[in-house]
Structure formats: structure tokens, C-alpha cells
């Protein structure tokens, strides 16, 4: 199997026991280093604290959320009551459906068209290529906020106000994806493509059956990152969405950011926040490698 | 472009094949013409009109920009945005680098610890706002944890005009430091360990070897982190929208330019003014981008 990763591949690690022994020997020579390790653990705990508070508070009673001093473990354990209340309070199921729909379409379209364009830029030489590439690249440098007003007016004049089309289509492509796929497509050996051409395969078939499968690792990294961006996207949905039918999770749960009621439902707010973060957490746990790779690539190349 | 296509069609089969590259690239290019180039140009034009969505735009020339110079809220948003950019970029740059050095150490359970540290990057900013609104209640967790140092019984983190912008910066730092830590860590991992070992053999201590050997090699990363974190801070919107009292308050201390675009455009429907603020914001971000590209010449993007 050809592994196509332009970034440094991790060299095979020695056995765990060996690493532990090495670490222990190192520590005995420089005992002060344990302080730095403890500091790293402490810092990680501090940063993880708010999300731990969120999850644990979603099992508390409303008034217990603000208990002083804080209850690290719920004392008046509510089970799933707060989650049930969340679904009664707002049409959360609808919001989830819409968010999954938007993220799903974003992921599929971005991955396929980025792979297509990235392959086109990497392996072909056509007139206007430089201009096209610079144009696509320039979109990375313009923040979305600059497009907000004119894009809204454009969607408005297209009659896409408050529709799935208006919500999803303007964000469906991503220049960073094109750039990333182009880097990975370079690594595909030309001989492989030429051999397929000799066998009479069409260019479209070469893309689907040879190029796209070889880009699967890059596609996975791109997919999880696009899912995260799309799932958490807020500004554009806030502008476009008017009716509950197409409301996504981040827009739908804003009722909990500035509650007008005299008695805010703190525990329900925490349950809703936990639910809204759950898909991302699950993805992160299972596809951490791709997340990290995607983050680093989006960072370095974005 | 079409004449070029035709001339290619007459060429050899190898040349004809190249047309497929254009076909593969075309959907993306067309998409960006419709949903990027067109709105950018029309946004520039809107900023020169008096447009409210309710009636057709009237050409007013540079009037919107002249008005902005006298607009108290706009001038306020300039200083609020600059304060937020400086207040987030500087500590994020330093602290994410220090965090990367901490997690660059090898120790058992490092991957798990790193994962814990990374969790703030995952939730949406609306979730972040909901959670921190509770943590920043006058008698909430943040007050309790800082009480040993401040001695204060209750702190109005969000509604005190002097404290509220700092609270925004604290929250921003919490969600972004782990992300930039990852970028620094990728940079650190890319440095061959022989270089550091050589410095250590030559009698440098760890700090010296970091400052003399590794930091200079991390220059592209350093420029990148500074540029991207400031560009993101320039666009600050969601947190201020969601958590500051009255969307940008108290007394507008959290009204960033990003929030002002939303207010003018989607609360007051003054699209011309909103477009003008967007153009000014774009110009400011462009300065940072040009600066970044100048500092990391040719390292980021190559055509071949």
C-alpha cells in the first residue's frame, strides 16, 4: 500500500515498557523534570475543567448548578431529567436533524470537489491554471465577515431567504480543502495514472477508481474538520435562519445564552450544551488522529 | 479561455488530455465566482450606496465612509477591536508556545493529557458562551477560584464595564490556546532532534538551545500563529454577541467591528453602512495578511 502523507510520518515507537524504563532513568538523572510534567497535567486539568463542569452540571438540579462552593459531583442527581426537559423546551430533534443535514452535505461536497480540483491543479497543465489557482487561493485570505452583507443581499435577491439552499450552499466549498488535496495529489505517482490511461481508462474513471481512493486519508482529515466547522458554524446560519424548520443547533440554543426568564434553567442549559457538543466529542474520540492532522494542515496551509 | 480550449482540441492527445484538468477545476472556480467574487465586488459597491433592503440603493459615493469617521459607535468599535486583538494575540502567542513546550516533554499518559487540554477547541462558541455565562456568575466558579487572590466575595465578570472586555479575552484564550499549542507542537516536532542534541553537546543548556536553535527555526510557525490569531480576533463576533450584556455592552465596551457589521446590517438594516464597516475591517486584516506574507516569504504557498 502506498501511504500518501506529505507530512512527516511518525517513526515506529519502541515498546511501552522500554519507553517507561527510559523515562524513569531520565527522571532519576533530572528529578526536577517531574515538576514540569506535573505542571503539564495541572494545565490540562484547568483547561478541561469548564467542559467537565458542563457535563457534570447537566445531571444537577437547577439551583445546584450555581452552588457555592461548587459541587464537583452532583449531589441531587437528576438522571436524564434535564435532557428530557431540553427536548420538551425546544425542538431539539429538529435542530439536530438540520445540523446533521448541513454538516453532511458540507462534508460530502467539500471532500469530493476539493479532491477533484486538487487533483486537477496537481496533475494537469491547462491554460489559465495559474490564474485559477491564485483565484481559489485568494479566497482563503478574505474573512467570511467581509462577505456577510453582500452575500445576504445576494441570497435575498435569489429568493433563498430562510431556505436550506440559502443556509447550506454558500458555505459548501472550501479553498483550504482544495489546497490540502492538491498537496496530497502531488504524491500520487504519474506512472500509476499513465498505466491506467494505457489500459484505456477514461479520465473520470481514473479519478474515481485510482486517485480518490488514494486520497482517502486526506479525505478523512478534511471530512472531520469540515464537519466540526459546519456543526459549529454560527454567523451565517444566524443571518439566514428565520423559521424553526431550518434552525441548526448553535442558532437554536442561543435562547440559553441570554435567558429573559426570571429563573434561568441552568441545568437544562448545561444538558443542551452537552448534547450539542456530543457529536464532536464522539468524532474526536474515534478519529483523533485525523482531527489533529486536519487541524495542523488547516492551520499550516489555511 | 474558450479559444484556448479549441486550440488545445487540435493539439496532440497529451495536450488534449490536459483539458480534463480544467474540467476538474471548473466547478470550484465557478462556485467561487458566484459566492466569492460577486459578493466581494457587490459589497464594495454597496458601501458606496445608501441601501436598506426596503428601497433600491441610491449612490452616495464616499458619504458612508465620511459618516463613519464621525460615528461615535464606529470609533468605539475600532478601539474595542484593537484592544481585543492585542489582548488575545499577545497572551495566546506566549501561552500556547509555553503549553507546547510542556506537552513536548515525553511522559507516560502524555497523549491523554494532551487530549484533555485540547477539549476547549471542540465545542461551538455558543456552547462556550452558555457555559462561561454560568462560570462567570457573580458568585460562580471563576469567582470562587480567584477568591484566594482577589479576596472579593462577588465579581460581576460580565456586567462591569472595566472587567467585561477582559472576561471576553479570558474566554477567547481558553478556547484558542490549545489550538495554537497544536500548531507550535507540529513545528517543534518538525525540528530534527540532532540539532538540539548538537547544541546540548556544545554545552548549551535547555533554555539556551531553545532560544538559539529551535526558536529561529520556528519562525514560520511564530509568524503564522501571530497572524492567524490576530486575523481571527479582528473578526470577533460570536462571543460578544452571545455573552456580553445587551449584545456588545455594557456601554458598548464589547462592540467589536464584527458585531457592528451585524448591528448595522441586520438590526438596523443599514446595509450601506454595514458594507462600509466590512470594507474597513477587510483593509485592516489585509494589512496583517500582507505583513505575514512578507515575513514568511515563499514559505507558505508555492505554485509548484
Average pLDDT of the residues of chain B: 85
Q: Which residue of chain A is at minimal alpha-carbon distance from B98?
A: A40
Which of A83, A116, A137 delimits the end of a domain?
A: A83
Q: Both A100 and A160 in a single domain?
A: yes
| A39, part of any domain | yes
The answer, yes or no, to whether residue A261 has pLDDT greater than 80, is: no
Which of A52, A83, A114 delimits the end of a domain?
A: A83
Q: Both A148 and A271 in a single domain?
A: yes
- Report the residue of A16, A108, A145 to disrupt the B interface, i.e. the one with the largest count of B CBs within 10 Å: A145
What pLDDT score does A8 carry?
A: 42
Q: Do A276 and B123 touch (CB under 8 A)?
A: yes
Nearest 5 degrees, angle CA A75-CA A76-CA A82? 125
Count the domains in chain A.
Answer: 2
Phi then psi for residue A34, to 5 deg, are -60, -30
Q: How far apart are CA A164 and CA B89, in angstroms?
A: 36
Over residues B195-238, the pLDDT tens digits come to: 777 777 777 777 777 787 888 888 888 888 888 899 889 999 99
What pLDDT score does A10 carry?
A: 47
How large is the average pLDDT for residues B288-300? 71
B4: pLDDT confidence band, cut at 50, 70 and 90? low
Chain A residues whose CB is inside 8 A of the B231 CB are 143
Over residues A100-143, the pLDDT tens digits come to: 999 999 999 999 999 999 999 999 998 889 999 999 988 888 88
For residue B250, whether the previous peptide bond is cis, meaning omega lies within 30 degrees of 0, is yes
- Determine how many CB atoms are found less than 10 A away from the CB of residue B280: 18
**Which domain, by its residues, includes A107?**
86-190+218-301
Q: Both A244 and A133 in a single domain?
A: yes
The CA-atom distances, in angstroms, between A67 and each of A197, A235, A259, A267, B140 are 70, 33, 19, 12, 8
Q: Do B22 and A128 touch (CB under 8 A)?
A: yes
Which of A61, A83, A105 delimits the end of a domain?
A: A83
Chain B residues whose CB is inside 8 A of the A292 CB are 182
Q: What is the CATH number of the domain that holds A132?
A: 1.10.3720.10
Chain A residues whose CB is inside 8 A of the B200 CB are none
Q: Do A124 and B141 touch (CB under 8 A)?
A: no
Residue with the bigger pLDDT between A65 and A249: it is A249
Question: Torsion-angle region of residue B251: left (phi > 0), alpha (psi -120 to 50) or beta?
Answer: left
Mark A51-60 as b/e (b = at least 16 C-beta within 10 Å). bebbebbbbb
| A275, part of any domain | yes
Q: Both A125 and A269 in a single domain?
A: yes
Q: Do A51 and B131 touch (CB under 8 A)?
A: yes
- Report the residue of A17, A21, A50, A241 to disrupt the B interface, i.e. the one with the largest count of B CBs within 10 Å: A50
Yes or no: say if B209 and B200 are a contact pair by the CB < 8 Å rule.
Answer: yes
Q: Which residue of chain B is at minimal alpha-carbon distance from A53?
A: B131
Over residues B28-72, the pLDDT tens digits come to: 999 999 999 999 998 888 888 888 777 777 888 888 888 888 888
Distance of CA A116 to the CA centre of its chain: 21
The answer, yes or no, to whether residue B2 has pLDDT greater than 60, is: no
Q: How far apart are CA B301 and CA B12, in angstroms?
A: 32
The answer, yes or no, to whether residue B25 has pLDDT greater than 60, is: yes
The answer, yes or no, to whether residue A203 has pLDDT greater than 50, is: yes
Could you tell me which of A22, A5, A163, A186 has the C-alpha nearest to residue A98?
A: A163
Q: Which residue of chain B is at minimal alpha-carbon distance from A47?
A: B117
Nearest 5 degrees, angle CA A96-CA A98-CA A99? 65
Q: How far apart are CA A107 and CA B236, in angstroms?
A: 25
Q: Which of A60-64, A108-112, B293-297 has the highest mean pLDDT?
A: A108-112
Structural domain boundaries of chain B?
2-46, 71-295
Yes or no: say if B154 and B143 are a contact pair by the CB < 8 Å rule.
Answer: yes
Q: Which H helix or E strand runs over B169?
A: helix B164-189
| A4, part of any domain | no
What pLDDT score does A5 carry?
A: 42
Q: ipTM score of the complex?
A: 0.85
A2: pLDDT confidence band, cut at 50, 70 and 90? very low
Q: What is the 3-state secondary structure (H, E, C) of A116-177?
A: HHHHHHHHCCCCCHHHHHHHHHHHHHCCHHHHHHHHHHHHHHCCCCCCHHHHHHHHCCCHHH
Over residues B97-108, the pLDDT tens digits come to: 999 999 988 888
Homologous superfamily of B71-295 in CATH?
Answer: MetI-like (1.10.3720.10)
Over residues A153-183, the pLDDT tens digits come to: 899 888 998 999 999 999 888 888 998 899 8
| A158, part of any domain | yes
Amino acid at each position: 500500500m502506498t501511504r500518501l502523507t506529505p507530512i512527516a510520518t511518525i517513526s515506529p515507537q519502541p515498546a511501552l515498557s522500554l519507553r517507561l524504563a527510559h523515562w524513569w532513568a531520565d527522571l532519576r538523572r533530572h528529578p526536577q523534570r517531574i515538576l514540569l510534567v506535573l505542571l503539564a497535567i495541572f494545565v490540562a486539568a484547568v483547561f478541561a475543567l469548564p467542559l467537565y463542569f458542563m457535563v457534570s452540571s447537566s445531571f444537577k438540579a437547577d439551583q445546584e448548578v450555581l452552588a457555592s462552593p461548587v459541587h464537583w459531583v452532583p449531589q441531587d442527581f437528576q438522571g436524564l431529567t434535564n435532557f428530557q426537559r431540553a427536548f420538551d423546551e425546544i425542538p431539539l430533534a429538529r435542530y439536530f436533524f438540520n445540523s446533521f443535514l448541513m454538516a453532511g452535505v458540507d462534508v460530502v461536497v467539500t471532500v469530493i470537489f476539493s479532491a477533484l480540483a486538487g487533483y486537477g491543479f496537481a496533475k494537469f497543465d491547462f491554460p489559465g491554471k495559474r490564474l485559477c489557482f491564485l483565484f481559489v487561493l485568494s479566497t482563503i485570505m478574505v474573512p467570511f465577515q467581509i462577505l456577510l452583507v453582500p452575500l445576504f443581499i445576494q441570497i435575498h435577491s435569489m429568493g433563498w431567504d430562510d431556505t436550506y439552499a440559502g443556509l447550506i450552499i454558500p458555505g459548501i466549498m472550501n479553498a483550504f480543502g482544495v489546497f490540502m488535496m492538491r498537496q496530497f495529489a502531488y504524491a500520487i505517482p504519474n506512472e500509476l495514472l499513465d498505466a491506467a490511461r494505457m489500459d484505456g481508462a477514461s479520465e473520470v474513471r481514473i479519478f474515481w477508481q485510482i486517485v480518490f481512493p488514494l486520497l482517502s486519508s486526506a479525505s478523512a482529515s478534511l471530512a472531520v474538520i469540515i464537519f466540526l466547522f459546519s456543526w459549529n458554524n454560527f454567523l451565517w446560519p444566524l443571518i439566514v435562519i428565520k423559521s424553526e424548520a431550518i434552525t441548526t443547533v448553535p442558532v437554536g440554543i442561543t435562547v440559553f445564552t441570554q435567558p429573559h426568564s426570571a429563573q434561568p434553567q441552568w441545568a437544562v442549559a448545561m444538558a443542551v450544551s452537552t448534547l450539542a457538543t456530543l457529536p464532536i466529542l464522539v468524532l474526536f474520540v474515534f478519529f483523533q488522529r485525523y482531527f489533529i492532522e486536519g487541524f495542523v494542515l488547516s492551520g499550516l496551509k489555511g | 479561455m474558450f479559444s484556448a480550449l479549441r486550440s488545445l482540441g487540435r493539439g496532440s492527445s497529451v495536450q488534449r488530455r490536459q483539458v480534463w484538468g480544467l474540467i476538474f477545476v471548473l466547478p470550484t472556480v465557478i462556485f467561487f465566482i458566484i459566492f466569492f467574487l460577486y459578493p466581494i465586488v457587490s459589497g464594495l459597491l454597496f458601501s458606496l450606496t445608501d441601501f436598506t433592503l426596503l428601497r433600491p440603493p441610491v449612490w452616495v459615493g464616499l458619504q458612508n465612509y465620511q459618516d463613519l469617521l464621525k460615528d461615535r459607535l464606529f470609533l468605539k468599535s475600532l478601539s474595542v477591536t484593537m484592544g481585543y486583538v492585542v489582548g488575545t494575540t499577545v497572551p495566546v502567542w506566549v501561552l500556547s508556545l509555553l503549553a507546547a513546550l510542556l506537552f513536548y516533554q515525553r511522559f507516560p499518559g502524555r497523549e491523554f493529557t494532551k487530549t484533555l487540554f485540547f477539549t476547549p477547541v471542540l465545542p461551538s462558541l455558543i456552547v462556550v458562551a452558555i457555559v462561561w455565562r454560568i462560570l462567570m456568575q457573580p458568585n460562580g466558579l471563576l469567582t470562587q477560584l480567584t477568591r484566594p487572590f482577589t479576596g472579593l466575595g462577588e465579581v460581576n465578570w460580565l456586567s462591569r464595564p472595566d472587567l467585561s472586555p477582559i472576561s471576553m479575552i479570558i474566554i477567547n484564550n481558553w478556547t484558542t490556546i490549545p489550538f495554537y499549542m497544536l500548531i507550535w507542537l507540529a513545528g517543534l516536532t518538525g525540528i530534527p532532534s540532532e540539532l538540539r542534541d548538537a547544541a546540548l553537546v556544545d554545552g548549551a543548556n535547555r533554555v539556551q538551545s531553545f532560544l538559539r536553535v529551535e526558536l529561529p527555526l520556528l519562525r514560520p510557525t511564530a509568524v503564522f500563529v501571530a497572524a492567524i490569531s490576530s486575523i481571527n480576533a479582528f473578526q470577533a463576533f460570536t462571543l460578544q454577541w452571545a455573552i456580553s450584556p445587551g449584545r456588545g455592552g455594557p456601554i458598548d465596551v464589547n462592540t467589536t467591528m464584527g458585531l457592528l457589521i451585524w448591528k448595522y446590517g441586520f438590526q438596523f438594516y443599514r446595509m450601506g453602512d454595514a458594507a462600509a464597516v466590512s470594507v474597513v475591517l477587510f483593509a485592516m486584516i489585509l494589512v496583517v495578511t500582507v505583513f505575514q506574507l512578507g515575513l514568511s516569504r515563499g514559505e507558505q504557498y508555492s505554485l509548484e
